[in-house]
Amino acid sequence: RRFDYRPETDPYCQARYTFCPTGSAIPVMKEEDVIEVYRLQAPVWEFKYGDLLGHLKIMHDAVGFKSSLTGKNYTMEWYELFQLGNCTFPHLRPGMAAPFWCNQGAACFYEGIDDAHWKENGTLVLVTTISGTMFNEMAQWVKYDNETGIYYETWTVQGSPDKKSTVWFDSYECSKFILRTYQKLADLGAVFKKIQTNYTSIILFSGEPVYLGNETSIFGPQGNKTLAAAIRDFYNPFKPHQSVREFFVDLFKIIDRVILNHQFYLFYNLEYWFLPMKSPYLKIIYEEVPLPVGSKASFGV
């Protein structure tokens, strides 16, 4: 779903790590430039935990560019403004009936490619070359995509592990931005190398979701107080924890609700849904998504 504008962020929403600290505007390239495009992938939080999450195949994706005319490198990625936890679960604030969400994602563009970051535990590989004209057209698309696709969605929700299973909800995170960027470049004429490309998805397994309503219809003056209490009660164990004991007590609550009672409340595009959870409940997969084939005259490798 696309939105008309990006809302102002609430001062309550604070990130532990600054979003896009060295970000810059996307430059205008000369039409005759030839620009190398690189696939970048590294374990999530590699800067803090090294390859730890890489062993679980929880990976972060980005795309790199190198101008042949200037020799300059650039990195472009898409991630959460307020870290993953805030995008995945809300805050339950005193005096506020509805859960409060600090959830936005956005593109970040900056000069340079941190070779060590991407190479050491991940991937830095050339996937295609494009013209300066194609790069500039892609930049206009990025602006549109960034202004209208604003909410981070952690979960993919589908009916079963079967590859042909119904996908109830699709995630909207870093890898999906990279896939959209590749597809845009292919549509503009880029020809991609034939290499295997895999991406991480975090999947919830559910029967057919039940629509519950939006914030106003559930938590407003005329809302459903029983449902509102159930949603708040569900999200409570996911709050940040101050002690190990608190964490394990709430972990048992989560297991009880999600696995034993088959319940999950999903907030997706500003609407609440009930998911009747089913085995295997949650799975992290790292599966191949082929590089795209374009529809225009070719340019590139």
Given this model, what pLDDT does residue 241 score?
67
CA geometry: angle at 262 spanning 88 and 259, to 5°? 80
Active centre residues (catalytic): 60, 174
- CA atoms 60, 16, 65, 180: torsion sign: positive
pLDDT tens string 243-260: 778 878 888 888 988 998
pLDDT tens string 189-243: 999 999 999 999 999 999 999 999 999 999 999 999 999 999 999 999 988 766 7
Q: What's 161's DSSP letter? A: S
**Are 200 and 285 in contact, with CB atoms under 8 Å apart?**
yes
Given this model, what pLDDT does residue 67 score?
98
Q: Give mean pLDDT, residues 269-282.
A: 96
Confidence label for 48 from pLDDT (cuts 50, 70 and 90): low
Average pLDDT, the chain: 91
Better-scored residue on pLDDT, 298 or 170 = 170
Q: Which helix (H) or strand (E) holds 65?
A: strand 59-67
pLDDT at 21 over 70: yes
Residue spans per domain, the chain: 34-155+170-195
Q: Provide the b/e sequence for 149-168 (b: ≥16 CB within 10 Å).
A: bbbbbbbbbbeeeeeeeeeb
pTM for this predicted structure: 0.89
Confidence label for 49 from pLDDT (cuts 50, 70 and 90): low
**Are 260 and 153 in contact, with CB atoms under 8 Å apart?**
no
Confidence label for 50 from pLDDT (cuts 50, 70 and 90): low
User: CA-CA distance, 37 to 2, in Å (whole number)?
Assistant: 27
Q: Give mean pLDDT, residues 290-294.
A: 87
Task: Please count the CA atoms within 13 angstroms of the CA of 153 that sit on its side-chain side.
Answer: 21
Given this model, what pLDDT does residue 83 score?
86
Q: The sheet that has 105-111: what strands, in order across it?
A: 105-111, 73-80, 59-67, 34-43, 123-131
**Are 197 and 291 in contact, with CB atoms under 8 Å apart?**
yes
